[in-house]
Chain A
Amino acid sequence: MKHIFEHHMHNERKIIHLNVADFAVAVERVCDIRLRQRPVVIAAAGSARAVVYDMSDEAYQNGVRKDMPIKRAQRLCRDAVILPPHPDRYKRAMQTLCKQVLPYAPLLEVVDDNGHLFMDVTGTHRLFGPAPDIGWRVGKEVRRSMNLAPIWTVAPNKLVAKVASRLVKPMGEYIVAAGEEASFLAPRPITLLPGLERVDILHLWDFNITKTGEMAALSLEQLAVPFGKKALHLYELARGIDSSPVQPQSATPPAVRFSHTFTDDTNEVRRVAGVVYWLAEQAGIALRDQRLAARRLTIFLHYTDGVHVVRQATTKRATANDFQLFDLARIALKRAWTRRVRLRHIHLLCDRLTFPPAQLELFPAVRHAREKREKTVTAIDLIRQRFGRESIKTGRRLAA
Chain B
Amino acid sequence: MNKPLKNESLQTEITNISRRNLLKGFALTGFVLAVGMPFAGFAEDEETPKYGRDAMPNGWVDNPLVFVAIAEDGTVTIVCHRAEMGQGVRTSLPMVVADELEADWDRVKVIQAPGDEERYGNQDTDGSRSVRHFFMPMRNVGAAARMMLEAAAAAHWGVGVDEVFAENHQIKHQSSGKTIGYGELAKAAAALDVPEREKLQLKPADKFRYIGKQSTKLIDGEDIVTGKAIYGIDVQVDGMVHAVIARPPVYGGKVKSFDDSETMKVPGVIKVVTLEGSPPPAVFNPLGGIAVIAANTWAAMQGREKLKIEWEHGENASYNTDEYRQQMLKSASSSGGKVLRSSGDVSKALETADKTFKADYYIPHLSQAPMEPPVATARIQNGKCEVWAPTQAPQASKDTVAKWLDISSDDVTVHVTLLGGGFGRKSKPDYLVEAALLSKAMDGRAVQVTWSREDDLHNGYLHTVSIEHLEAAVNADGKTTGWLHRTVAPSISSTFDASSVHQMPIELGMGVMNIPFAIDNIQLENPAAKAHTRIGWFRSVANIPRAFAIQSFIAEMADELGQDHKAFLLDLIGPARKIDPVELKDEWNYGESPEEYPLDTGRLRRVVEAVCEKANWGRDLPAGRGLGLATHYSFVTYTAAIVEVEVSEDGDLTIPRIDIAVDCGPQVNPERIRSQMEGACIMGISLAMVGEISFKDGAVQQDNFDSYQVSRMNESPREVHVHLLPAEDFNTPLGGVGEPGLPPIAPALCNAIFAATGKRIRDLPIRYQLES
Q: Answer yes or no: are A and B bound together in one complex.
A: no
Interface residues of B (CB under 8 A from A): none
